[in-house]
Structure 1
Amino acid sequence: MLRFGTRGSKLALWQSEHVLLMLSLGGELKIIHTKGDKVLDTPLPLIGGKGLFTAELEAALHANTIQCAVHSLKDLPTEQPAGLVLGAILARAPAGDVLVSRSGKTLLNLPQNATVGTSSRRRAAQLLRVRPDLQLLDIRGNVDTRIQKALAPDGPYDAILLAHAGLERLGYENVITEVLPFAIMLPAPGQGAIAVQCRDEAWIREKLSLIHHEPTAQAVTAERAFLAALGGGCSLPLAAYGSITDNTLTLTARVLSPDGVHCIEVSGAASPTDADTLGAQLADEAKAQGATELLG
């Protein structure tokens, strides 16, 4: 029987149980608490280091305490540790971000100098690009906690940003005020996709292949290749989204200054089998336009 590691949040448990349901396995779930779950009083970019939500799960994989770990792909560093592989990437849920507004006002209709909660530099930079007047305030906690903070009548937030996929999976779509268009808010590389990381053993990979969705894998491979080529982690003001139509993979990516004043956007298309190459090529184009300097 396979043992699966998961974080303990409601969303992480939903994702892990969804994987087991798709596999029709009587697998065992082991809850593992990560550094990102334990340190809740510090903005994510200030905690430092890659793998804030994954390192402890990877250690358990190496120790064979678990054989598989279920992740939100956007949290997973682009480099796989020796002996571990991505055994499956599931079909993607909506990849974008949404606004949850206490007043029911959309982003462009929020009052002047409204306070918006986000811990993401990617989201912050793109928000300030279209609304430089906004006051951004850090927000941490699981999905339920953030929604409660956002809707509290006496709370400090006029609105917050959350991933569309997480709200859909937990049945919280009723709190969504606005689905933000990609023209305003491109997602993080891999956002909306669930990944199953596993020990690099043939029998495990064979079982996981049953739930692998290749079109999603190709799209997110391009996004993550762009991120990797820029030396990026989840704390950078960098966004990318890939999609496949008529056997053509299209990738659009964005690198911004933290204040949103400067924005480099690149896009291109290729065969889905050339996803890695497309991501790297667009990263080179972004670098040629000054992306390395923007990212500091």
Structure 2
Amino acid sequence: MIIKSIRVQNFRCVKDETLHCKNLTILVGANGSGKSTFLRALEMFYEPNAEYTEEDFYARDTSNNIIITVTFTNLTEEEKRIFKSYVENGELTVEKELTWPKARGSQKYYGTSLMNPDFQAFREAKGEDLRREYNKLRDISKYSSLPPYKNKEEAEEALKNWEQQHPEECTRQRDRGQFFGFKEVGEARLERFTRFILVPAVRDASQDALERRGSVVTAIMDLVVRKTLAQRKEIMNFQEEVNKRYKEIFDPSKIPELHSLEKTLSDLLKNYAPDTSVKLGWREDVKIDIPMPEADVNLVEDEYPSSVSRAGHGT
């Protein structure tokens, strides 16, 4: 199978756009046009537990869920057989929906499968209602061949088998597919047949924008900003005041606990060396250095600030 199209809804700078793909697809566009957004959306589609924040929702509106829809074509005979109930006109369409807040169950996969509308009441039922709704179906002549109810799992399997044998009685409906990591109706996983590997064509600017040893932004901040700040009179005076106050607070003569420990250790030591004692104090070379603030680098496009990691590589 290969990807035919990618539809992205409510993700970063994209409200609702569809990218139609060929065997070789090249994305060309101005900075901020959504090239990296589509690549990240596709990467998130392939990650069952993708990382995302409020900033990833279009206009930061978390009331509209992020939906990433991928349509696959050129399915092999094995793929058509395994995903039989989800395939239409030789194509397989899968949706991933991400909701907020991020929690267990906030990322779900859906497919469209052939389902009998008459079975909907059973599938929405719970507890004792499951048996009741199932028996109602068996009372209908065309469903009389369904086996007696034993449990929910076997009843659902019987309904699925009926749907596969009578596709003319079914319509396509959205169905939670559980394609990644879990068995679905075809007893297979989509990940067996398709993978996504992102190989950045350029250096990742988001890593350079982080404050850490060796990063570009750290080198620039040290050279242009922090070195100058350290020479400012008010900073130097503040540094001197902090160290002076530090010495006053930790003056050994003002710390009775230090003298108490000194006496205890000396008394213990005299049991073995009568002419020896312990003297406790502080090192004189202790100095408090005022830490300089770390940079928080954001890009502003169309008056909308966001972190560098959420911007395109060309920005």
Q: What range is the shorter-chain TM-score in?
A: under 0.3
Which protein is richer in strand relative to its size? 1
- Relative to the length of structure 2, the TM-score reads 0.22
- Structure with the larger RCO, 1 or 2 (CA within 8 Å, 6+ apart): 1
